[in-house]
Amino acid sequence: MNIGEVAQASGLPSKTIRYYEEIGLVRPMRSENGYRHFRDTDLHKLNFIGRARALGFSIEDCRALLALYEDESRESASVKKIAREHLDRIDEKIAQLSDMRATLSHLVDCCAGDNRPDCPILNDLGKLDGSPA
């Protein structure tokens, strides 16, 4: 398969696939004309990466997960560790965003949103100290 077909099949843009080759995540063959030639295993890998990325894993996590995937003598504990650490990072982010959301949504609710200049949002951002709203 050429890169376009693999892009189609995997749902990843060609540019991204070239990038993944550049950083060594996949190693497609080359045809005589210089075109990348992808085998089924390459497509399979790309699907794997696409799914892992969709779950928010970093490229380096993907690399590690792929290595484990291909290592028949892996221990599932290694995989679980990576996944759980990632889960923790997700939880942190959600917590952060929820904090932001709470503050911001309160401010938005307080703002009249009319043609007058007075605005609790700006008042809050312009406050001198870090005291609560």
CB of 61 to DNA, least distance (A): 8
Q: Which residues of 37-52 are buried (b: 16+ CB within 10 A; e: fewer)?
A: ebeeebbebbebbbeb
104 near a second copy (CB under 8 A)? yes
Q: How does DSSP classify residue 65?
A: H
Q: Which helix (H) or strand (E) holds 125?
A: helix 120-125
| Residue 85 interacting partner from a second copy, DNA, none (CB closer than 5 to 8 Å by kind) | none
Strand partners, 30: 36
- In the numeric block, the tokens 């290694």 are attached to 78
C-alpha to C-alpha distances, 131 to 86, 97, 105, 128, nearest whole angstrom: 33, 20, 18, 9
- Applying CB under 8 A, among 32, 33, 34, 112 the residue interacting with a second copy is 112
15 near a second copy (CB under 8 A)? no
Nearer to a second copy, 23 or 75 (CB): 75
Residues 39-98 that bind a second copy (CB under 8 A): 44, 47-48, 51-52, 54-56, 65, 68-69, 71-77, 79-81, 83-84, 86-87, 90-91, 93-94, 97-98
Q: How does DSSP classify residue 116?
A: S
Chain residues binding a second copy by CB under 8 A are 44, 47-48, 51-52, 54-56, 65, 68-69, 71-77, 79-81, 83-84, 86-87, 90-91, 93-94, 97-98, 100-101, 103-105, 107-108, 111-119, 121-122, 124-128
